[in-house]
Structure 1
C-alpha cells in the first residue's frame, strides 16, 4: 500500500489485476472407506484422517488383518503411486452415510473407494456421493465370480444395478492375488486374493502425476499383484468391455495390467474414465480460479477478465495434450456476451459463461492392416 500522505497532491494510478491465472486443481487424492484393525472409539468412526504413507496408516489405524480389505487396499494405493489419502474408518456399512457426509467437508478428495464391498445398492450410494460433489470418481470392485459371463452371475447382476448416467464411476475386475504379508518370517510363502480398487486408485494417482489426468489410467502395471483371481481371455474381455467392466489382464512377460478405461454409463460422451475426470478437473479448477469475480460489478470489464482467465487456463490444458485440435480455437471456446447475459439475467445478479471443449479420447482399439507387398505394387490385404 502506497502512503500517499508523503507524496505531492495530484493524480496517481494503481493497476489492479484481479483476473489472475487459474491454477489446476488436484486430481489424485483418494478417500478409502472401510474397517480398520484398531478398535476405535465411536467418536473417531467416520472421521476422515489424512495419511501420506503406509507407515502413517499403521500408526493411526493398525496393520494387517487377513479378514479385512482396507489395510491391503491402502498399502496397494501407496505402492502404486498414491501420495495422499483420507482414511474414513467405519465399523460396518451402517456408518457409510456419516463417512460420506464427513468427506463432503474435505474438498481435495477426487477418488473414492470402498474396498471389497460389491453390493450394488451400497456402491450406488458412493456413486451418488461422487455425482453430487461433481468432482469425484468412484473406483469400484467387481464381485468375485467364477463364471463372469453368465447373465445371472454375480458380476453381471452387480453391473446391471450400477449404471451411472454421467460416468462418475468405474468397475474393475477380477480381484488380484498378492503375497500374504502376515506370514511369519521363515514360514512358507502364502498368497491372498484381495479387491483391486485401492491399487487402481494408486495407479490413477500415478498416471495423473506422470502424464496428466487426460491420460487414460490403463495399460498400467498393478504393483504388488503377482497374479489375478481369474485369467480372462480376449473373447471374455470383449464381452465384459461392451458392458463397461474394466478388466485386469495378464500377458506373457508382463505383470498384471489395468486393461480397461470405461465408466459405468451407456452414454458415449462420458464413456471413458479420463474424459470424465478431465472435465471434473477443469470444472473444479475454474470454480476455484474465478471466485475473485463474485460481487464484482457485472459489466463488460468483468466479462473480459473472466474470458481472459479461462482462456489462458484452457490454453494450458490444450498445450498439455488434453484437448483435440491443431490450434486452441479448434480445441475449445469461451463465450461470455450480451446473448448469454441480457438485462433480465444481469438484474438477477447472474453472469453466465459458456465453455466448449474437445477432449482427447483413448486409442482403445489400435487397428493394424498388414498384407503382402510385391515391391512397389499396392498392398494386397489378406
Structure 2
C-alpha cells in the first residue's frame, strides 16, 4: 500500500484483483452423531473433525457393546469418505439431538448428516431433517427401523415411514440394516448395524469420482458381508413406491449394493437424492461465491458482472454432466435485469438473480423392448 501523503499530489493508480470465478462448495464432509465407546465428559457435543478411522480410535476408542457409532464411522471411511465431523452425545434422545444439531449449525463444511441407529421418526424429522432443511446445504441419511416384515402396514418400518417427510427432499431412508464382521466378538460373528455411515461414504465417493450430480446408487457397500433382511423384487417395488431405498444382494455377488436413490419428498421435482444435493450444491456455491457483490453499487454494471459470474459457474456444472442439454443455453438460464429488479427492489437494496436449471435425473428404470425377428437384412 502506497502512503499517498508522502508523494506528490496528483492521480494515483492501483491495480486490484477482480472477483474470480465461483468455486464449487464442498459436498463430501459428513457429520455422524452418536454414542462413542468413550462418551464425552461434561456436556460437550463439539463436532470433532477426523480424516481416518485411526484418528477416530485415538479420540473416542474402538468398539463397545451397543455402540453403533464406531461401525458407522468405519463404514464411512471404508467407502470413500475423507472428512467426518463426529458429534459425541451421551444418548440419542431429544436432549442429545438438540445439542448435536445446534453444534452442527456452526460447522459450514458439513453436507451430509447421519445419526446411526436413530429410528424414532419424530426425533429424525424434528431434529435431523428439520436441521438440514433450515441450513439448506446438507442432506440427511436416515436408517430404517429393523423389520423382518417390511410391508406390514403397522410394522416398525411402515410406522416409521409414515412419520417421515421432507417436502423439498432433504432426506432419504435406507432399508435394511447391513451385517458386518464384529471385531469385538470372538469368532468374527456377523453383526447387524445401521447403514447410514456406509451410505454417507458412498455419497462422498461418488462426489469425488464423478460429481454431486451422480446418484449414490448401484454402488457396493464396502465392509458389509450381508443384510439383516434379504428383499425380493416384489418387496422392493412396494418399498420404492414409498420412497424407501433398498439395499440388495444380487446373484453372483455377496456384497450388498445400494439399489435406490429417492428422497422422502412426495413432489416429483425433488424425488431423487442427486437432484436435491446438486441444487443445494449450486445454491451453496453461489452463496459463497457472490459475497463480493454485497454493498456494491446496485447498477446495471453490477447486474452484468453477476450474470457473467453465475453463467460461468453453471457452464462448468453443465460440462461436468450435472445439467441436461446439448448446449449451455438448453441447460440453464440466468436473468439479472430490470424485469426482476424493479425500482422498488433497488430502493430496498435488493438484487434479484433468476436462475433456471435443467437438472439430470437418474435412469431409475431401463426398459428393454424385445420382439421376434425373422432375420435377414433389416430394410
Q: Which ranges in structure 1 are unaligned for 5 or more consecutive residues?
A: none
Distance 1:172 1:6, change over 3 A: same
Question: In the alignment, what sits opposite 1:317?
Answer: 317
How far apart are 1:337 and its partner, in Å? 0.3
How far apart are 1:252 and its partner, in Å? 1.4
Kindly report which structure 2 residues correspond to 1:25-44, keeping only aligned pairs within 5 A, or say none: 25-44=25-44
Instruction: Report the secondary structure of 1:177's partner residue.
Output: strand
Question: In the alignment, what sits opposite 1:24?
Answer: 24
Q: Which ranges in structure 2 are unaligned for 5 or more consecutive residues?
A: none
1:61-93: CA deviations, max 9, x gaps?
111013111011000000000010001111111
Does the 8 Å contact 1:18/1:292 carry over to 2? no
Question: In the alignment, what sits opposite 2:181?
Answer: 179
How far apart are 1:163 and its partner, in Å? 1.3
Moved more, 355-364 or 336-345: 336-345
Aligned partners of 1:341 and 1:211: how far apart in 2? 37
How far apart are 1:39 and its partner, in Å? 3.8
Aligned partners of 2:182 and 2:274: how far apart in 1? 32
Aligned partners of 2:216 and 2:184: how far apart in 1? 30
Question: In the alignment, what sits opposite 1:102?
Answer: 103
Aligned partners of 1:362 and 1:321: how far apart in 2? 12
How far apart are 1:377 and its partner, in Å? 6.8
Question: In the alignment, what sits opposite 1:347?
Answer: 347
Aligned partners of 1:104 and 1:40: how far apart in 2? 19
Question: In the alignment, what sits opposite 1:128?
Answer: 130
Does the 8 Å contact 2:39/2:88 carry over to 1? no
Kindly report which structure 2 residues correspond to 1:142-221, keeping only aligned pairs within 5 A, or say none: 142-184=144-186, 188-221=187-220
How far apart are 1:11 and its partner, in Å? 5.4
In the alignment, structure 1 residue 87 sits paired with structure 2 residue 83: no
1:163-195: CA deviations, max 9, x gaps?
1100000000100011111135xxx23110000
Aligned partners of 1:372 and 1:11: how far apart in 2? 84
Instruction: Report the secondary structure of 2:270's partner residue.
Output: coil
Aligned partners of 1:18 and 1:42: how far apart in 2? 48
Question: In the alignment, what sits opposite 2:143?
Answer: 141
Question: In the alignment, what sits opposite 2:112?
Answer: 111
Does the 8 Å contact 2:151/2:235 carry over to 1? yes
Does the 8 Å contact 1:19/1:305 carry over to 2? no
Question: In the alignment, what sits opposite 1:302?
Answer: 302
Kindly report which structure 2 residues correspond to 1:267-282, keeping only aligned pairs within 5 A, or say none: 267-282=267-282
Question: In the alignment, what sits opposite 1:359?
Answer: 359
How far apart are 1:10 and its partner, in Å? 6.7
Aligned partners of 2:88 and 2:64: how far apart in 1? 14
Instruction: Report the secondary structure of 2:142's partner residue.
Output: strand
Does the 8 Å contact 2:263/2:272 carry over to 1? yes
Does the 8 Å contact 1:117/1:123 carry over to 2? yes
Instruction: Report the secondary structure of 1:209's partner residue.
Output: helix
Q: CA RMSD in A?
A: 1.8
Runs (4+) off by over 6 Å? 2-10
Question: In the alignment, what sits opposite 1:240?
Answer: 239
1:229-256: CA deviations, max 9, x gaps?
1111111101100000000000112221
Aligned partners of 2:376 and 2:341: how far apart in 1? 62
Distance 1:173 1:262, change over 3 A: same
How far apart are 1:359 and its partner, in Å? 0.4
With the length of structure 1 as denominator, give the TM-score of the two structures.
0.94
Instruction: Report the secondary structure of 1:206's partner residue.
Output: helix
How far apart are 1:282 and its partner, in Å? 0.4
Does the 8 Å contact 1:135/1:281 carry over to 2? yes
Does the 8 Å contact 2:53/2:77 carry over to 1? yes
Instruction: Report the secondary structure of 1:47's partner residue.
Output: coil
How far apart are 1:318 and its partner, in Å? 0.2
Aligned partners of 1:130 and 1:330: how far apart in 2? 30
Question: In the alignment, what sits opposite 2:326?
Answer: 326
